[in-house]
Structure 1
Amino acid sequence: MEYVTVQDTEIPALGLGTWRMKGPTCRRAVATALDCGYRHIDTAQMYGNERQVGAAISGAAVDRDDVFLTTKLAMGNRDHDSVIESTETSLRKLQTDSVDLLLIHQPNRGVELGETLGAMDELVDDGLVDHIGVSNFGVERLHAARELADAPILTNQVMYHPFWDQSTVLDYCQIHDIMLTAYSPLAHGGAASDPLLSEIGARYDKTSAQVAFRWLIQQENVSTIPKSTSPEHIEANLAVFDFELTDEEMRAIRRPSTTRTASSFVRARLPF
Structure 2
Amino acid sequence: MKARAFAYARPSSLAEAHAAFAAAEGDASYISGGQSLVPALAMRLQAPQVIIDLAGIAEMRGVALAEGTLRIGALTRHAEALTHPLIRAHAPLLAKAAPFVAHPAIRNRGTIGGSVALADPASEFPAMMLAMGAEMEISSPEGSRRVAAEDYFQDLYQTAIGPGEILMAMHMPAAGTAHVAAFDEMARRRGDYAMVGGGILAERNGAAIASIRIALFSVGPTPVRARGAEAALSGRVLDAQSIADAQNALDGDIDPLDDAEIPAAMRRHLARVLLGRLLRQLEIAP
Q: TM-score, normalised by structure 1?
A: 0.26
Comparing both chains, which one has the higher relative contact order based on Cα–Cα distances under 8 Å and sequence gaps of 6 or more?
1
Q: Hey, which of these two has a bigger chunk of helix by percent?
A: 1
